[in-house]
Amino acid sequence: MTTALFDTMNPLDDEHEMIRQSLRRYVEDRIVPRADAWEEDGFVPREVFREMGELGFLGMRHPEEWGGSGLGPLASLILGEELARSTYGGFTSSVTVHSDMSVHHIAANGSPEQKERYLPRACAGEIVGAICVTEPGAGSDVASMRTNAKRDGNGWLLNGGKTYITNGVYGDVYIVAARTDPDAKPSRGISLFIVEKDTPGFDVGTKFEKHGWRSSDTGELFFDNVKLPADALIGEEGKGFYYIAGTFQNERLVAAAMSVGQCTRAIELTTAYVRDRAAFGAPLWDKQVVRNQLARMATKTAAARAMTYECARMMEAGEDAVREVSMLKVFACETLQEVVHGCLQLHGGLGYIVGTPIERMTRDARILTIGGGATEVMLEEVAKRM
């Protein structure tokens, strides 16, 4: 698939295009040659975050006064799409969770003091952030969380646990959702807190071995009478559910962008492979069924990309895009499943060998119909607005 296929659906300005080209060069030159080692180690080294911070990639959505670039959702889209072209989903998730899903809460709703303390270091890649919402009994069902924070003098006492947390093992700053009013409606009884790694009572439990995303560290967290100061609260008490819901739209946009980037790269790699791979006396590309399958996947990818850019445009304009982003999360992430499995099939036995890009991308893709709002939950969000 050629890049030109998508250029007519590209609403980016010159600054956005410069960011895209810089990211693409960085991924090709600095990520792809090193990322196999990160898959083995199970995490992305700190030096990579610092590199990306120095290049300005980690703070594109954060205010300029705190070290960011002050850009909008289109910047997040570009980041997700270009990092995903690396074919390493774990690396991509670790970076985007840090840049767009965790400390983003501080940028959006934090106090000036919180922004001063955390954002410059987060933008520079000196600290790594994690977002802690999911619990064993409360994944997509945020309202069912049981982790709680109670008033303790001038501060708070935090108890509970979180699971499946990206950057959970090697992170530094954790944005933790907790119930602060057990008697209130779930949408009014949840608050967000900043918890630093070395806070007494905060422990990292299991580091999970995962089916995919192997270069991201994913852990289980426990909070046992963790004492937090009053200024650990982000924004207003009881508004956490709304803060989370607002950030979910950006998270789902990034997931769609990652899906589009992976689809695009998978089709590029597979097209090159079938043009070179001979079977029954001719390249596989000469078989109409092979060409048609790739053309069908390219068509769905183009549709997903157009939908992604339209949702980003709506978000940039401040429009209500909950229905559209929910549709997008379903369509883009489900399209990715079809594309990577189709591309693996066209690679034949090679596609089943661990370490090949298509094999890795197929494993990594699976989580995207689950994380950030499962397909079934997203379809209910759409149905509510029909």
Cα–Cα distance, 174 to 232 (Å, whole number): 11
By the 10 Å C-beta count (0-12 exposed, 13-18 middle, 19+ buried), 223 is classed as buried
**CA angle, 343 then 36 then 175, to 5°:** 95
Q: Which residues contact 150 (CB under 8 A, 6 or more apart)?
A: 156, 157, 159, 180
CA dist 275 and 282 (Å) reads: 9
The kind and range of the H/E element at 5 are helix 4-7
Examine the residue annotation and report whether 251 is marked as an active-site residue of this protein.
yes
Query: By C-alpha distance, which of 90, 142, 100, 40 is closest to 381?
Result: 142
| Whole-number Å distance between alpha carbons of 183 and 193 | 19
Instruction: Output phi, psi for 194, to 5 deg.
Output: -95, 125
Q: Which of 251, 324, 359, 381 is catalytic?
A: 251
Secondary structure string (H, E, C) spanning 133-173: CCECCECCCHHHCCCEEEEECCEEEEEEEEEEEECCCCCCE
- Specify whether the CB–CB gap between 220 and 185 falls below 8 A: no
User: Known catalytic residues?
Assistant: 251
